C-alpha cells in the first residue's frame, strides 16, 4: 500500500495496514524529509521539492513511486490528489488498485452542478437554486427569482472555498465577477451557480460505504456546524439536533444517492439542515475519507480504512447489517495557528511535546519533538477525539484530553478547543453554522490571557529542553535566555530556570 499523502492521515492509514500485515510505502517532499509519516512506513520515496505542485500534486511521480516500490494499491488520504478524477483513472490504468471511487464518480460529484442534477434525479432534496451555471446575461433575473440573501458558488469548488454571500441585487454583479475570477484561479473552472442562503442552519453530513454494485451502508451522521471561514473546527456524532425521524430520512436519501451512482468506497453526503422546518438539503458529496472519520469509528467500532481495503479487494455489501452505534464522540482539530490573534499561522520548532493516552481518547497526529512546522502545507497538526456513553461525558473527556496535550514552541488552537467545549452554547447543543464566528467576535467573551499562555509554554519548554542541554551549550535562537523567568503571574512563586 502506498499512501499518496502526508501528515496524520498517512500515519493513520499505515496503522491499519500494519494491523492487517500489509507492507507500506510513504511519499514525501524535500520539506518533509524528517516528517514522522515517512518513518511510519516500511519504506519511503522522495517526490520532489517542497511546493505541493512539485511533489504531492504530481500524479506521475506518485504513480512511478508505486511502480518502483511494487505497491499493489494507492490510498489517496484527503486533500492533494484524493478527489482528482484523472489521478484515480490513471492509477487504475496502471494496474494499481485505487482505494476510492472511480474517476467518473469523482468527476461527477466534483462538479457541483452535475452532482446537484444527479442527486435531484435520485430523489435527494436539493437547495432551491439555478439548474446549472449562470452567465452574466441572466444573472440578475436568476438572482431575483431565487431571492436574497443567496450564495454564489463555484461549480468546481469544494472544502468551503469558492463561496460568496450576496444580500441584495445591487451587490450581485460585483460579487459575480470576484467569484468567477477566484474560482478560475483556484479550481481552473470559473463557472458559478446560485443557491438560496438557508440561515440559520446546521451542517450535517452522512457517512456511507458503497461496494460499486449499488449496495451501501449508512454509518450515521456527523454534526459539523462549528466552522470558521467555512472550515470545520469541531465535529461530533450523533448530531444533537437530529431526531430519529429525520435521521431515517437522511439514511434513505443517502443510500439512494449511493445506489444511483453505484458508488464505490467511503463517501460523505453533506447536507444543510434547517432545524426549524426539519428539512435538509444536499450540498455536496466528498468522495474520500473525511478528516472527521474517527468519530464515526468510535461509535460504530468499525475501522473505515480497513473497510476501504475490503471494498478495494471486491467485498460485496449486499446483506451486510449496519453496525450498532453506541454513545457519542467529539473531535477537535488542532491547528498551528494563534486563535487569539486572528488565527495567524504559526511556524517553528516543536518543543516539549506531550500527547497523552486515555482509555476513551484518541489523538491522530504526525508530530515529534524537534519537528519543524513549515508554511508549505495545511496547518492542521493533529485531531483530538473522545468517546463517552453520553454527549456531555464525551465532551468532558475531550476537555481532559486537550488539557493534557503539550505542543511547545509554536501557537496552537488547543486552548480554544477547551474554551469551546466549556461554552454554554456548545454543551447545550444550541448552535448553527454562524455561531462560532459570532462567538469569537464577542468583545465580552472571557478568555485565557494569551500572554500568560505564551509565558507558561515558554517555561515548560525551557524546563524540559534545559534538563537535557549539554553544559556550555548556547541557548536556542528562538528560546530566549536560559536564565530565570520572573514570578509566575497570579501564583506568587518564582519560575524554575
Give all domains of the chain, ordered by start, each with its CATH number. 2-99 (3.40.50.20), 128-196 (3.30.1490.20), 202-440 (3.30.470.20)
User: pLDDT value at position 475?
Assistant: 39
Per-residue pLDDT reduced to its tens digit, 162-210: 889 999 999 999 999 999 998 888 888 999 999 998 889 999 999 999 9
Adjacent-strand bridge partners of 494: 487
End-to-end CA distance of the chain: 48
Q: Are strands 337-338 and 361-365 parallel, antiparallel or unpaired?
A: unpaired
Q: For the chain, how big is the Rg over CA atoms in Å?
A: 23
Query: Which residues of the chain are modeled with pLDDT < 50?
Result: 446, 465-497
Encode 27-50: b = buried (16+ Cβ within 10 Å), e = exposed: bbbebbeebbbbebbeebbebbeb
Query: What pLDDT, on the 0 to 100 scale, is given for residue 229?
Result: 86
| 288 is known as an active-site residue | yes
- Residues in a beta bridge with 265: 210
Q: What is the pLDDT of residues 280-297, one digit of tens each?
A: 999 999 999 999 999 999
DSSP alpha helices (H): ranges in 274-390?
Answer: 293-300, 304-312
Which pLDDT score, from 0 to 100, does residue 255 have? 98
Residue of 38, 202, 251, 288 marked active site: 288
Q: What pLDDT score was predicted for residue 476?
A: 40
pTM assigned to the model: 0.84
Task: Tell me what pLDDT residue 470 has.
Answer: 46
**Alpha carbon 116 to chain centroid distance?**
22
Give me the pLDDT at residue 480, please: 35
Q: Is 172 helix (H, G, I), strand (E, B) or coil?
A: helix
Please name the residue ranges forming H helices in 77-168: 85-93, 103-110, 112-121, 139-146
Amino acid at each position: 500500500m502506498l499512501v499518496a499523502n502526508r501528515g496524520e492521515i498517512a500515519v493513520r492509514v499505515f496503522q491499519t495496514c500494519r494491523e492487517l500485515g500489509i507492507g507500506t510505502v510513504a511519499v514525501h517532499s524535500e520539506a518533509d524529509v524528517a516528517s514522522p509519516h515517512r518513518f511510519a512506513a516500511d519504506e519511503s520515496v522522495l517526490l520532489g521539492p517542497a511546493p505541493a505542485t512539485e511533489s504531492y500534486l504530481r500524479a506521475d511521480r506518485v504513480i512511478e513511486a508505486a511502480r518502483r516500490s511494487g505497491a499493489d494499491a494507492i490510498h489517496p488520504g484527503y486533500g492533494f490528489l484524493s478527489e482528482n478524477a484523472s489521478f484515480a483513472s490513471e492509477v487504475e490504468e496502471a494496474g494499481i488498485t485505487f482505494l476510492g471511487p472511480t474517476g467518473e464518480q469523482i468527476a461527477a460529484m466534483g462538479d457541483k452542478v452535475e452532482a446537484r442534477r444527479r442527486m435531484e434525479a435520485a430523489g435527494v432534496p436539493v437547495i432551491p437554486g439555478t439548474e446549472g451555471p449562470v452567465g452574466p446575461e441572466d444573472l440578475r433575473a436568476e438572482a431575483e427569482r431565487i431571492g436574497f440573501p443567496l450564495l454564489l458558488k463555484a461549480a468546481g469548488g469544494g472544502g468551503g472555498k469558492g463561496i460568496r454571500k450576496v444580500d441584495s441585487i445591487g451587490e450581485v454583479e460585483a460579487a459575480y465577477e470576484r467569484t468567477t475570477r477566484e474560482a478560475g484561479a483556484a479550481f481552473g473552472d470559473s463557472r458559478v451557480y446560485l443557491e438560496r442562503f438557508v440561515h440559520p442552519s446546521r451542517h450535517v453530513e452522512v457517512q456511507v460505504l458503497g461496494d460499486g454494485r449499488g449496495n451501501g451502508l449508512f454509518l450515521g451522521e456527523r454534526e459539523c456546524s462549528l466552522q470558521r471561514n467555512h472550515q470545520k473546527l469541531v465535529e461530533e456524532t450523533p448530531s444533537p439536533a437530529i431526531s430519529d425521524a429525520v435521521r431515517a430520512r437522511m439514511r434513505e436519501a443517502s443510500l439512494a444517492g449511493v445506489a444511483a451512482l453505484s458508488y464505490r468506497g467511503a463517501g460523505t453526503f453533506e447536507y444543510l439542515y434547517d432545524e426549524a422546518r426539519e428539512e435538509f438539503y444536499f450540498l455536496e458529496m466528498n468522495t474520500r475519507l473525511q478528516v472527521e472519520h474517527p468519530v464515526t469509528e468510535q461509535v460504530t467500532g468499525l475501522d473505515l480504512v480497513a473497510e476501504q481495503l475490503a471494498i478495494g479487494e471486491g467485498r460485496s455489501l449486499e446483506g451486510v447489517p449496519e453496525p450498532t452505534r453506541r454513545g457519542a464522540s467529539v473531535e477537535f482539530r488542532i491547528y498551528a495557528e494563534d486563535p487569539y490573534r486572528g488565527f495567524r499561522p504559526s511556524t517553528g520548532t516543536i518543543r516539549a511535546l506531550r500527547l497523552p493516552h486515555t482509555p476513551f481518547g484518541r489523538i491522530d497526529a504526525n508530530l515529534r519533538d524537534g519537528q519543524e512546522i513549515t508554511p508549505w502545507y495545511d496547518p492542521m497538526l493533529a485531531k483530538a477525539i473522545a468517546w463517552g456513553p453520553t454527549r456531555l461525558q464525551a465532551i468532558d473527556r475531550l476537555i481532559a484530553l486537550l488539557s493534557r496535550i503539550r505542543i511547545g514552541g509554536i501557537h496552537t488552537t488547543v486552548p480554544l478547543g477547551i474554551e469551546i467545549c466549556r461554552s454554554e452554547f456548545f454543551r447545550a447543543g444550541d448552535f448553527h453554522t454562524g455561531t462560532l464566528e459570532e462567538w469569537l467576535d464577542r468583545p465580552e467573551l472571557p478568555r485565557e490571557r494569551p500572554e500568560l499562555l505564551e509565558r507558561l509554554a515558554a517555561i515548560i519548554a525551557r524546563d524540559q529542553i534545559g534538563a537535557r542541554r549539554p553544559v556550555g551549550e548556547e541557548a536556542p535562537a528562538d528560546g530566549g535566555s536560559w536564565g530565570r523567568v520572573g514570578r509566575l503571574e497570579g501564583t506568587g512563586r518564582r519560575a524554575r530556570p
